[in-house]
Structure 1
Amino acid sequence: MSRHESMVRLRHMLDHAREAVAIAKGKTRDDLHTDRILNLALVRLLEIVGEAASRTLLDERAQHSDIPWAQIIGLRNRLIHGYDSVDFEILWQIVNHDLPNLIVKLEQIVSSA
């Protein structure tokens, strides 16, 4: 994989993280139980963030060690393989607390490329 392809993956992470935050805006934690479309959308967007993270170059990951790569990729694996036991409290915390910080870091990387 080339550096260009790795940057494309970082942009995918950024775009899908932004979309998850935007979709959750104005919603509540309880909406995850009552709004099936919200639930499915957030899970899928986080799966894509994790998949894109897993496809970035190892050198790129090492260069940006402040990004929790293992946790992002691990979340993707948990969502895919543990689809029947997703903890919506954790999912909500990730979308509302972790993704905004990730977005800032990804914006810095992408803008400097």
Structure 2
Amino acid sequence: MKPARGDSSRLQDILEAIEAIERHPVKDRPAFDSDELLRFFVLKHIEILGEAIFKLSTELKDRHPQVPWNKVEKTRHILVHDYFDVNWDIVWRIMEQHLPSLKHEVQKVMKFEGFKSA
């Protein structure tokens, strides 16, 4: 049986998923749309960070209401369960507009909580 993963590990999972996406910069939207592997790579990492957020403790999320935990969880749920109808406009917007601020917020939470970043 695997040991339980705590909030520190889950927050690190979120950062690692965002950083994986950052390691594969996309020139522009047409390049994103034309690269099926990249689109699904980004989608998978958004799902991973959404799952990590879902499994964070309620107490941690309650201490940091400035982070849009619920919104990310709901987005992950939609992406996973409506996989035949993925809205790539939303995925693009998440990648371009929302992940940088989420990364910043998660880093602040880790510092506030006294968790070390890997």
Asked if these proteins are the same fold (TM beyond 0.5), I'd say yes
User: Per-residue displacement from partner, 1:47-92 (whole Å, max 9, x unpaired)?
Assistant: 0000000000000001111111111111111111011111111111
Identity %, equivalent residues? 24
Higher deviation after alignment, 25-34 or 85-94: 25-34
Q: Which has the higher helix share?
A: 1
Alpha-carbon shift at residue 26 of structure 1 (Å): 3.6
Which ranges of structure 1 fall in alignment gaps of 5 or more residues? none
2:20 paired residue number: 19
Q: Indicate yes or no: 2:77 matched with 1:72.
A: no
Which ranges of structure 2 fall in alignment gaps of 5 or more residues? none
2:30 paired residue number: 30
**Under a length normalisation based on structure 2, what TM-score does the superposition of the two structures give?**
0.85
8 Å CA contact retained: 2:47, 2:76: yes
8 Å CA contact retained: 1:21, 1:96: no
**Under a length normalisation based on structure 1, what TM-score does the superposition of the two structures give?**
0.89
- The 2-side partners of 1:103 and 1:16 are apart by 10
- Cα RMSD, aligned residues only: 1.8
